[in-house]
Every structure is written in structure tokens, then in C-alpha cells.
Structure 1
Amino acid sequence: MKKHLATAIEAAIEAGREIMNVYEGENFQMEIKSDKSPLTIADKRSNDIINEFLKPTGIPVISEENTELPFEERKNWKQCWIVDPLDGTKEFIKRNGEFTVNIALVLEGRPELGVIYAPALNLLYFSLVSEKKAFKYNRTSEAVDANEIMMSAKEIQREVISNAIKVVGSRSHMNQETLNFIEELRSSEKEVQVVSKGSSLKFCLLAEGEAHYYPRFGPTMEWDTAAGQAICEAVGFSCKFSHSGKSIHYNRKNLRNDNFVVSYEG
């Protein structure tokens, strides 16, 4: 599993390098996909690089930018990669730095490892769920050596120092159901604070103890959550559909997620 983690780390960093080449340019082209979401050349280039790294593993890939295969072809997969080559495209377009590369390896529908890389912030998060460990690494050089990174990274020790209940909200998505969830928490007579963050960095805030809950009552896809779930579950969080109470599982017939809540279970 560590070999696959090393591959995912190197893929994310190289993809992030190409994303930054576009990000730091004066102009970049943007398209609007059929689901009304934006798409840039950075999404495409990042996806190509990640596919190059993952193809030699022989494990199939589900990616936001790959052609979606029919469930009849996917249903017997024991494992698969789930990739978002540029999560937070809206944040990328706004140039606020809060965008990520997400790569997860799923086994029998459960995330086994996750990598989240925020290239504009030089922050890398990764985890091995079976070992119940997640790590954070601040990149200070352009060198890419996954084994060295895994040895040097700091294990995340979740420490909550605030007495207030902190709820992660999206910079780009905040609807009435989310506001209702926050108001319900406030009825417990505890102070509730909302912490805004873009892309899968919301999961990283939780893992580091900067927040208690991440409610998402709106459309997301499997590639939006798989890597973040792997990181959060490694440090004791649950990621559950709000209606069924079951953990989010992957490579489903419908790749769109139902509403979910991420919370700490210890």
C-alpha cells in the first residue's frame, strides 16, 4: 500500500506543478461543462499527468475528467483510484489559492489511502487509513521524492483548543440546509463558529482539529470526497450520508453523492 501511496504523492505533486504553470500565467481559458461547472486547461493537463502515473499500477481510474464508464463495466472492480485533478476550480479562477489535487485508492468501496495537495499553498496531506495515521508536509523545495516526503512529514495530531463548535462551510456553496444545521447546533446553547474554506481543504481543517463538523447539503461527486474521507477517517472522523447514516462508499452506480456530514467519533 505504501508503494501506491508514493505513486499518488508523486502524481499529485507533478500535477500541481502543471496547475501552477497555468495559474501563474496571465490568462487561461475556461469552459462551462454540461453540469454548469467550470473547466480550465489546468484541469485537463493535471488529469493527463495523473493518469500517466497511475496507469502502470494496473488499477482502473475514476476521474472527474475521464470518460465515465458504465456501471456494468465497473461493478466488479475490487479496487480503483478516484481522482479530482483540480478540486476547487472556482477557487482557482478566483485566484485565492484554495484549490487541490485529490487522489484516493479505494478497496471494496472503502478509501484506503488519500492524498490532497494544495500547490499554491505548498501543503500536502496524505493518509493510510488501515494504519490510522494522517500526515501533513510543507513543501519547501521543488524536489519530488515521495519516500523522503513520507519520512519527513509530520503526523497529524488532532488537538481542538476552542470551546466553540466550529463548522466548516464552503467559500462557494452555502445553502439553507447548511444554515439550518448550524442553527440546530446553536440551539444547544454552545457558541458556533463557521470556518470557510475552499475545495477538499475543508477535510484537512477537520483532521487538524480546526473544526468539528463539515455538513454538505448539496451536490458533490465521489472524486470530491474520497481523498478527504481517507484523511479524516485515519484520525477518527466518520463521513456519513445524512439520510441513511451509512459511511460514504465508492464506485457506486451513481457517482453523485447524497448529502453527508463529517464529524468526529474518536
Structure 2
Amino acid sequence: MKEIIQAAIEAGKEIMAIYETDFEVEYKEDESPLTIADQRSHEVIKQSLEENYPDIPILSEEGRHLTYEERKQWKEFWLVDPIDGTKEFIKKNGEFTVNIALIRDGKPVKGVVYAPALDDLYVAEEGKGAYKVSSVLSNTRKDYSLNAESLPLEKPNSHVAKVVASRSHMSDETKAFIEDLEDKYEKVETISAGSSLKLCLVAEGKADFYPRYAPTMEWDTGAGQAIVEASGGKVKVSGENTSLTYNKKNLINPWFLACKSNFE
């Protein structure tokens, strides 16, 4: 995992160098924002992964998007979002992340989420658990396992339901989900967060539910899903008992619900 972690951190450094300036914002065909930070982060990660894992293909939000015919035979690949939460980056609220996941047979088996403005790192590997490392850049030895905390950090409260929702995307369906919880629990608390930090909050135990009843792309969720599942949680397709899968013909995710394993 060291090479993946270091790639995310180096990308984070590039992002922060731009974050602290008056950068320009462009818009892609789908009207989503793009900055030079997205592009530089992509290049740093791409170079590192190609050097260390030359036989594993890369699917990045800011890279060339291959057709399904070209990628359907992939048994494993890197799934990358150079900046998840570009809107949060533009707002300068700190709630954006670098996401790198290894997908194997449609399932995320390794994940790294780094929030450079917060200097928080989340790491997961199937069968080995999920961990959080705070104040990453102050760790000069680069042995992040020394101050890694095993996830979840907090135990659930059977009387209180904590729901994390997007700062930028609160749909009517999400509001209805929260209202339904109010009939089941003594108290419902809503937490706002941006980017894949919402999934990380579920993994930490700071949130019990993350309903996402609005569009996301595969690169938005792969790394975060790896962290939730390695911490003992679930990321299920809404209304089904099946997990989100990857390298679909259509890279848009279905609606989903992330929750701790003791919640359904």
C-alpha cells in the first residue's frame, strides 16, 4: 500500500499548492467544474501507478475514458478520482479528497482516500481492515502505520441515528429517508460533508447512514467503499442487498445506501 499512499499524498501536495492561489475554473461538457489542480493531481497519480504497476490499467476521471469494449476484460484496474469534491475545492472549505482504489472482479479491494486540506488519510485493504491516519505530513518517517487508528473509532448508539448528507446534493429522496428514520429512532442527527469524506465518516462510526439518492460516478465511490467495507460496513444498491459493483458498461452508479453492519 505504500506506493498508493505516497501517490495520494504527493497529489495532495500539488493540489494544495494551487488551492492557496487564485486559480481559474473551467467547465466540462457536463457542466462539472475542472481546475488545473484536478489535472496535476491526475498526472502525479498516473505517473506513480504506471511506474509501480505497469501491468494494471488505470481508469481516472481526468484520464481517457475507454469504451466498455476496451475495458470489459479487465480483471483488475486502478480507479482514480484526482479531486473528489471539486466544488468543495472551489469553495475552499477543505472537504475534498484524492481517491485511489484497486478494483478486482468488479469489487474494490484496496482504497486510499486523502483529504489534503485536513491532512487526514484513510486506508483499507480487504482482509486487513481500515485505518485513519491524522496529521499525515507531520509524520516525517513516512511509516503511517505508527499512528494509524483502526476503524471504526466510535460505537453506534441504538437510540440515535446519525445521517451524513452532501453539502451540495440534498435530494427530496434523501429528505424522505431522514424523515423515515425519525419514526424509528428517538433522535436523528444530520451531518453535512463533502466528497468521499461522507463514506469515511460512516467507516469512522461518526455517521450511521449515508443515503445517496442522486447521481455519482464509479470513481466517486470506489476508494470510499473499500474503506467502509473493510471497517465492517456496507455500501448497498438502494432497495437491494447487493453491493455497488465496478467497471459497468455505464459508469454512473445506481442510488445507494452506506451504513454500518449493525444497521439495515
TM superposition score normalised by structure 1: 0.93
Name the Cα RMSD after superposition: 1.5
> Which residue of 142, 154, 161 maps to 2:149?
154
- Residue 29 (1) aligns with residue 11 (2): no
- Per the TM alignment, residue 151 of structure 1 is displaced from its structure 2 partner at its CA by 4.0
Name the structure 1 match of 2:182.
Answer: 186
Hey, what's the Cα distance between the residues in 2 that align with 1:126 and 1:98?
A: 17
- Per the TM alignment, residue 37 of structure 1 is displaced from its structure 2 partner at its CA by 0.9
Are the equivalent residues in 2 in contact too, given 1:114–1:226 (CA < 8 A)?
yes
Are the equivalent residues in 2 in contact too, given 1:79–1:107 (CA < 8 A)?
yes
- Residue 40 (1) aligns with residue 35 (2): yes
- Per the TM alignment, residue 194 of structure 1 is displaced from its structure 2 partner at its CA by 0.7
Name structure 1 gaps, 5 residues minimum: none
Hey, what's the Cα distance between the residues in 2 that align with 1:182 and 1:94?
A: 26
Q: Between the two proteins, what is the percent identity of the paired residues?
A: 51
Hey, what's the Cα distance between the residues in 2 that align with 1:33 and 1:188?
A: 42
- Per the TM alignment, residue 171 of structure 1 is displaced from its structure 2 partner at its CA by 0.7
Hey, what's the Cα distance between the residues in 2 that align with 1:261 and 1:29?
A: 34
- Per the TM alignment, residue 159 of structure 1 is displaced from its structure 2 partner at its CA by 2.1
Name the structure 1 match of 2:228.
Answer: 232
Hey, what's the Cα distance between the residues in 1 that align with 2:254 and 2:26?
A: 26
Report 1:81-230 matches (<5 A).
Answer: 81-131=78-128, 133-139=129-135, 141=137, 148-160=143-155, 162=157, 163-230=159-226
Evaluate the alpha carbon distance shift between residue 189 and residue 243 of structure 1 in structure 2; reply closer, same or farther with a 3 A threshold.
Answer: closer
**Deviant stretches of 4+, over 3 Å:** 140-146
- Residue 264 (1) aligns with residue 260 (2): yes
Name the structure 1 match of 2:48.
Answer: 53
Are the equivalent residues in 1 in contact too, given 2:14–2:37 (CA < 8 A)?
yes
Evaluate the alpha carbon distance shift between residue 145 and residue 166 of structure 1 in structure 2; reply closer, same or farther with a 3 A threshold.
Answer: same
**1:134-154 residue CA offsets vs partner (Å, 9 max, x unmatched):** 1111235366765x1134422
Which letter does structure 1 place at the counterpart of 2:155? Answer: V
* Alignment size in residue pairs: 259
Hey, what's the Cα distance between the residues in 2 that align with 1:198 and 1:217?
A: 15
Hey, what's the Cα distance between the residues in 1 that align with 2:48 and 2:7?
A: 6
**1:44-75 residue CA offsets vs partner (Å, 9 max, x unmatched):** 00000000011120210111101110111111
Name structure 2 gaps, 5 residues minimum: none
- Per the TM alignment, residue 179 of structure 1 is displaced from its structure 2 partner at its CA by 0.3
Are the equivalent residues in 1 in contact too, given 2:161–2:185 (CA < 8 A)?
no
TM superposition score normalised by structure 2: 0.94
Hey, what's the Cα distance between the residues in 2 that align with 1:156 and 1:244?
A: 25
- Per the TM alignment, residue 204 of structure 1 is displaced from its structure 2 partner at its CA by 1.2
Hey, what's the Cα distance between the residues in 2 that align with 1:24 and 1:235?
A: 33
